[in-house]
Structure 1
Amino acid sequence: MEFTKPIFVLILLFLARAAESWTGEIHGRVVCDVCGDSSVGPEDHPLEGAEVAVLCITKSGEVLNYQAFTNSKGIYKVAETMPESDRWDSCVTRPMSSFHAHCARRGNAYSGVKFTYSKPSGSFHVVKTFLYRPASSPAYCM
């Protein structure tokens, strides 16, 4: 039984350290609104490589600035693990650029989304979809 005591102590130390940390995640989508109708429909497609800025203020007052890019499904993610006392308090997320010449004009009426981050550790917050639109819509949209 002497052999299992050190392992038990190590497990307790690991769990105590894990309880002190906090993990949060923010994610959302960026889509090309082909018809410019401000809604996501079957004609629309995700924008890969679109840039999104995420700015968060922590409970301790620190300002954290993140830069994220969308994957092939148009999804971006920002995740952070930090001490519980420094966790995110409020954040603002905004689209920065599309990098797609065919769909580069911002389509949303809002330029950013501000929210309070009150999720427990290990949870995530989903931000509204950001839309970009082409300079002119195809004829089938009319």
Structure 2
Amino acid sequence: MIRALVLLLALTCSAEAWTGEIHGRVVCDVCGDSSIGPEDHPLQGAEVAVLCITKSGEVLNYQAFTNSKGVYTVAETMPESDRWDSCLARPISSFHGHCTRRGDAHAGVKFTYTRPSGYSHAVKPFLYKPAYAPAYCM
């Protein structure tokens, strides 16, 4: 009886809530060729900002750092009426010693968040370039 009540409460709460996730990668583009190849590697500790506007018009600002695989994640659970409508993800900085110059032509990626509750939106990788490309890149 208690299990059924707990399950019913969980289902009732989840019907009113919306959960979203945004994730992406930050990579060192070693040769600076704007493509990810075998010579490139993920950047741990890179900072990414994600700015979202909700359907109710509220502006939410998130800050994320990449893990050892170069992946950052932003997630939120909120009422369905306040779910994300559109977002802008942009790289802020890379703390990697030799790969600190932003390599992307655009400062960020703007997108409409249309994923249903519980699903994630993948952002294209952000690239950083080293100050000098190794000789094998030429």
Same structural fold, with TM-score higher than 0.5 when normalized by the shorter chain:
yes
Aligned with 2:8 (options 9, 12, 36): 12
Q: Is 1:101–2:97 an aligned residue pair?
A: yes
Aligned counterpart, 2:26: 30
Aligned length: 138
The within-5 A match list for 1:1-142 is 4=1, 7-142=3-138
Q: Report how far residue 59 of structure 1 moved.
A: 0.7
Query: Structure 2: which amino acid aligns with 1:31?
Result: V
CA RMSD of aligned residues (A): 1.1
Query: Structure 2: which amino acid aligns with 1:134?
Result: P
Question: Measured at CA, do residues 40 and 19 of structure 1 come closer, stay the same or move farther in structure 2, by a change above 3 Å?
Answer: same
Query: Structure 2: which amino acid aligns with 1:125?
Result: H
Query: Structure 1: which amino acid aligns with 2:13?
Result: R
Query: Structure 2: which amino acid aligns with 1:90?
Result: S
Gapped regions of structure 2 (runs ≥ 5)? none
- Identity between Structure 1 and Structure 2 (%): 76
Q: Report how far residue 15 of structure 1 moved.
A: 1.3
Gapped regions of structure 1 (runs ≥ 5)? none
- Tell me, in whole angstroms, the C-alpha distance in 1 between the residues paired with 2:4 and 2:38: 55
Query: Structure 2: which amino acid aligns with 1:116?
Result: T
Structure ID, larger Rg: 1
Query: Structure 1: which amino acid aligns with 2:134?
Result: P
- Tell me, in whole angstroms, the C-alpha distance in 1 between the residues paired with 2:9 and 2:97: 53
